[in-house]
Amino acid sequence: MSSEVINTKRAKQAAAGPYGKVGHALNELDDRLGVAKGGRTFLDKIFPDHWSFMLGEIALYSFVVLLATGVFLTLYYIPSTALTTYHGSYLPLDGQRVTEAYASSVNLSFAVRAGLLMRQMHHWACDIFIGAIVVHMARVFFTGAFRKPRELNWTIGTTLMILAIVNGFLGYSLPDDLVSGTGIRIAYSIILSIPVVGSYLGFLVFGGNFPGTMVIPRFFILHVLIVPALILGLVGAHLFLLVRQKHTQFPGKGRTENNVVGTPMFPVFMAKTTGFLLIVAGVTALLGAFAQINPIWQFGPYEASRISYAVQPDWYMGFLDGALRIWPSWSFHSFGYTIPLEVTVPAVILPGILFNIAYVWPAFERKLTKDFAMHNLLDRPSNRPKRTAAGVAVLALLSMLFIASSTDVIANFFHLPLNQVLWGMRILVILSPFVAYPVTWKICQELRVVEGGGKRKTTNVVTRTAEGEYVATAAPVYVDDVHSELEASEVPTFIVDETDKETGPGTRTVDR
Amino acid sequence: MITTSLKRVGMLTIAGLLLAAPLTFFVAGAGAQGRVVYQTTRKNAGTPNSTNVTTNSSGVVISYGNSAITYNAPSPKLASLGQALFLQNCASCHGTEANGVPANGTSGAYPNLVGLGPATIDFWIESGRMPAADPRAIQAKRRPPRLSSKQAVAIAAWVNSLSPSYPDIPTPNLKNANVSDGAALFALNCAACHTIEGDGDALAQGTYAPSLRNIPAYQVVEAIRTGPGNMPRFTGNLSDFQVRDIVKYVTTEIQHPQNIGGLGLGGLGPVAEGFVGLLLGVGILALVGFWVGERQ
């Protein structure tokens, strides 16, 4: 062969083999590792793509944003309560004695390029992360996706929510500013209020009495290493179970308990989900760039002698703060001990009950309904009035507790006496579940009998026949409501599996 | 022998001091009538002492203070104008003698203004709280003032002429103020009610700490030195220099905060942040999901 022949395009392609250079390299890899078959299955994996299934993805991708921005923050943050004199670009703090943690957080915001953007993105991503977890959890609950065989994944998800809240609080505490220091003070008091072991536990966590010097380094290592590692591991387990058990789907055309109708992993789902990751990161970046969050330089450093009024925790701790605010000051003293029920009940027992309700709900519902069957099709919430009503009741209670965490802001904003707002919130918190349950139950009952309830209504075309008879015929459904993409269609078969006897056209409907 | 006599001397001295102490107070009280006795300790910062006073030819204090805050007495010439204004605007509640006894009214129904000092009168009028919109309100609201600054000073001059007292109307000089010290003092003394961002907030039983976002410097000094309403009166624990630092912090960083992170979200803190995070953050992303995903 002469050299000019080899240099032609066709000759090059021929030399590279039938799959091209990349294909050849992959072939070599497959010869050694045998990844093609499993990889193909994975790439062909079908995901139902109802929009509500993307709520969990918001949580997942905001967690990715949290990891990325968090790593940036650790490069500049100093987890130490050693005192230093601040000399930086924010003049109102110049010359003040502050902790290294606070000074580094302020410097991170003022002196580090993109530091404030990263800090604000981290904080916004945290608010979005936990918000998306709660919304995702509500979706799973109301559609009955937690039922057999997915109880374990529900348990993992609940644990993830609690860990996310805990880690949010730990991170919120790290800048050691006036507001977060007050939060740590409250957390310490809550730990102290645990009967019998409270004071020992408080000393164990804080390495002595509040505030001490240990708490910031300890919270730091919990926040950046231990809790995130737990979250990462559980997210892995969560997703593994999701893939292993396959996703649930809403009942509909061609969908049964034994199949999954949706789009394949590659290329449709992968493109969608990657785009969604970028959108989550983009929205977080926009919020971080244009909406200020937690301006710690305006709060000043924390000192045990200082306090600011109108201090609230981040939204996900709001229900705890609200419960603490509205609980009457019931405590009793006997045998030389104080039993601080006004802290123990709202801040320890109440969240304990709420989280345990979440944990035991799948078993509770199994027991109640005697339904031990496998469920891959989701419920329409209105078809399960009691479950939906119970869920709404709990959400109503939590929302009212959340609103109660801003009694002072409400009183100030609407020019109401604080004491009346406090009493009003007490009444609303107690009433809310008892109002929400029957109202939701009734709405569900009504919706159950409505044909096509929840769908867009079409017009009725009334025509008069020659005989004078009036006939009403429903107009065809709106173009938007027709989903031709849901019709089973052929997909190319890349690998012919000789053992697979079913040689029909590969459709987007796969068996479980 | 010696010890007993020593004891006797000691006891006599103590008895003498015990007798003398009320006498000195009496003398001091008598002197206060003529507005010439000076406080020499920081116990009453905001009042004149022996070193910082400017008097006129007849020995009446016209101003006192230091490089941080100058307190100016209202001119006695304005007193007659002040009395007329008082009878027009204030006497229906506070009485024609400014003693809190309205005509045909019961004593103690409204505050007695005699001896409160010009700064108090000036603050309540110039912040628009007086004349009161609703005399039965738990707390008078800050409003655009109904009387001019000169009219307020005139009323202060007349009320003060009934029983001269302090503090006079302050003028802070913020030129050399230390905003960093001001920030620290603000966190220690003011943030517990006015919040660390100075927005103010609701207190018990319908009272509230007002927002500090739009208050002129001299009124901040007046409030600190006279303690209007529920607010404590800060005298002994804050020097004029410290008050000036606080005023500097309030009029710069509180009223014009450095919101370098973007929109300040109303300074409501985590409440507003939570709403933005949930409604805008999660909300927009859920809508995007709704757009991208299937809707059947």
Last residue of a domain, one of A301, A316, A331: A316
Q: Could you say which of A260, A289, A316 is where a domain stops?
A: A316
Confidence of residue A494 (pLDDT cuts 50, 70, 90): low
**Per-residue tokens: A418:** 């604080």
Question: Is the domain of A98 the same as that of A20?
Answer: no
**pLDDT number for residue A6:** 62
CA atoms in the 13 A half-sphere facing the CB of A266: 9
Looking up residue A159, the CATH number of its domain turns out to be 1.20.810.10
Name the minimum distance, in Å, from the CA of A212 to any CA of chain B.
Answer: 20
Is B183–A279 a contact, with Cβ atoms under 8 angstroms apart?
A: no
Average pLDDT, chain B: 82
Domain ranges of chain B: 72-254
ipTM for this prediction: 0.83
- Residue B265 neighbours by CB distance under 10 Å: 19
Do A69 and A13 lie in one domain? The reply is no
| Total beta-carbon pairs less than 8 A apart between chain A and chain B | 211
Asked if residue B172 has a cis previous peptide bond (ω within 30° of 0), the answer is no
The least confident of A219-233, A332-346, A494-508, B72-86 is: A494-508
**How big, in percent rounded to 5, are the helix, strand and coil portions of chain B?**
50, 10, 45
Residues A13, A104: one domain? Answer: no
Q: What's the pLDDT tens digit per position in A137-154?
A: 999 999 999 998 999 999
Given a cut of 80, whether residue B42 has pLDDT beyond it is: no
Answer whether residue A356 is part of any domain. no
Q: Is residue A429 part of a domain?
A: no
Q: What is the pLDDT of residue B296?
A: 64
Q: 3-class SS at A401?
A: helix
Q: Are residues A18 and A138 in the same domain?
A: no
Residue from the list B199, B204, B275 with its beta carbon closest to the beta carbon of A310 = B199
pLDDT: which is higher, B63 or A81: A81
CB-nearest partner of B205 from A314, A412, A417: A417
> CA of A312: which chain B residue's CA is closest?
B270
Residue A8 shares a structural domain with residue A108: no
Rounded mean pLDDT of B138-144?
A: 90
For residues A489 and B70, give the distance between their C-alpha atoms in angstroms, rounded to a whole number.
87
Evaluate whether residue A296 is within a structural domain: yes
Average pLDDT of the residues in B70-80: 90
> Is B259 in contact with A295 (Cβ distance < 8 A)?
yes
Closest CA to A146 of A241, A233, A57: A241
Higher pLDDT among residues B16 and A242, named by residue: A242
pLDDT higher than 60, residue A281: yes
Are residues A24 and A160 located together in one domain of the fold?
no
Whether residues B286 and A55 touch (CB distance < 8 A) is answered with: yes
Q: What is the mean pLDDT of residues A105-118?
A: 95
Clarify whether residues A27 and A54 are in a common domain: no
The answer to whether residue A322 is domain-embedded is no
Other Cβ atoms less than 10 A from the Cβ of B216: the count is 14
Which helix (H) or strand (E) segment holds residue A261: the answer is strand A259-261
Angle at A216 between CA A211 and CA A219, to 5 degrees: 115
Q: At what angle do helices A198-206 and A178-192 cross, to 10 degrees?
A: 140
In this predicted structure, what is the pLDDT of residue A92?
92
Q: What is the pLDDT of residues A70-91, one digit of tens each?
A: 999 999 999 999 999 999 889 9
A457 confidence band (pLDDT: 50, 70, 90): confident
Range of the domain at A227: 48-316
Q: Which residue has the tokens 């057999």?
A: A148
Question: Is residue A335 in some structural domain?
Answer: no
Q: What count of residues does chain A have?
A: 512
**Domain end (from A268, A293, A316):** A316
Nearest partner of B117 among B154, B81, B55, B163, judged by Cα: B163
Residue A10 DSSP one-character state: H
- Same domain for A120 and A238, yes or no, is yes
- Dihedral of CA atoms A108, A114, A117, A122 in degrees, nearest 10, equals -70
pLDDT value at position B24? 45
Q: Is the pLDDT of residue A424 over 50?
A: yes
A186 lies in some domain? yes
pLDDT band at A304 (very low <50, low <70, confident <90, very high): confident
User: Per the domain annotation, does A355 fall within a domain?
Assistant: no
pLDDT digits (tens, 9 = 90+) for B205-228: 888 999 999 899 999 999 999 989
Q: Which of A257-266, A473-482, B120-129 has the lowest mean pLDDT?
A: A473-482
Cis peptide leading into residue B167 (ω within 30°)? yes
Six-digit token pair at A116? 């404030």
Sequence letter at residue B12: L
What is the tally of structural domains in chain A?
2
CATH class of B72-254: mainly alpha
Which residue of B lies nearest to A57 if distances are taken between CA atoms? B289
> Which residues in chain A are contacts of B203 at CB distance < 8 A?
418
